[in-house]
Amino acid sequence: MGINLTKGGKINLTKNAHSLDKIMLGLGWDLIPGNSLDLDASVFMVGDNQKIPADEFFVFFNNLKSPDNSIEHTGDNRNGKGDGDDEMILAHLSKISDFITELVFVATIHNAEVLRHHFGMLKDAYIRIVDIDTQTEICRFDLDKKNFDKVTDMEFGRLKRIGTDWTFEASGIGSTKGLQGYVDKFTG
């Protein structure tokens, strides 16, 4: 088991594992009994200006691969049932374009406003990073057990390039902007 991070916690992924190159970011959650909802993981690949350089650098259920083939979304899990990771993002760090300085990992609830769904209907939500080559969990961030009854989307974490190192920061920032709100924030 890897390092457990708290909100705002950081870990340099490459400091102690210089050979680290291929990672899996797993997002998982359980539904509180009696609920059903569709949570979607997305990645915004941004540059120094905190914007994606082109639409294709927004990786989600309708665009499963980045144009540089460094990021791959393994597909949409529409119900969150089962043990383990519900949605997975694969990252090949050495292939990430030089002009990308940060990966922002968010989860949004599909059709949340219409269906009146929110993060308060979930329990045990997390993001974790696994070294693909060794199958070793490097770190994990479990979402606080706060009241998320009004939260429809969540920035789980950010993977930041600092020189040749990659650092993961646990965010845990909830909002109600929805997927389109994130698209608006990271484009244009």
pLDDT, tens only, 109-121: 888 888 888 888 8
pTM of structure? 0.92
Count CB atoms within 10 A of the CB of residue 21. 16
Dump pLDDT digits (tens) for 6-35: 999 999 998 866 678 999 999 998 888 888
- Pairing between β-strand 39-46 and β-strand 58-59 as defined by DSSP bridges: antiparallel
Q: What digits encode the pLDDT tens for the residues 38-90?
A: 889 999 999 999 999 999 999 999 999 999 999 999 976 554 455 678 899 99
Classify residue 25 as left (phi > 0), alpha (psi -120 to 50) or beta: beta
Distance of CA 40 to the CA centre of its chain: 10
The rounded distance, in Å, linking the Cα atoms of 184 and 133 is: 36
List phi, psi (to 5°) of 113. -65, -45
pLDDT of residue 14: 85
Mapped onto helix, strand or coil, the DSSP state of residue 112 is helix
User: Which domains, ranges and CATH numbers included, belong to the chain?
Assistant: 3-186 (2.60.60.30)
Per-residue pLDDT tens digits for 122-175: 888 999 999 999 999 999 999 977 778 889 999 999 999 999 899 999 999 999
Query: Positive or negative, the Cα torsion across 70, 85, 37, 102?
Result: negative
Q: Give the C-alpha distances (Å, rounded to integers) separating 65 from 8, 79, 89, 149.
A: 28, 22, 10, 32
Q: Give the residues across from 102 on adjacent strands.
A: 46, 160
173 Cβ contact partners less than 8 Å away, ≥ 6 residues apart:
154, 155
Cβ atoms of 78 and 117 closer than 8 Å: no
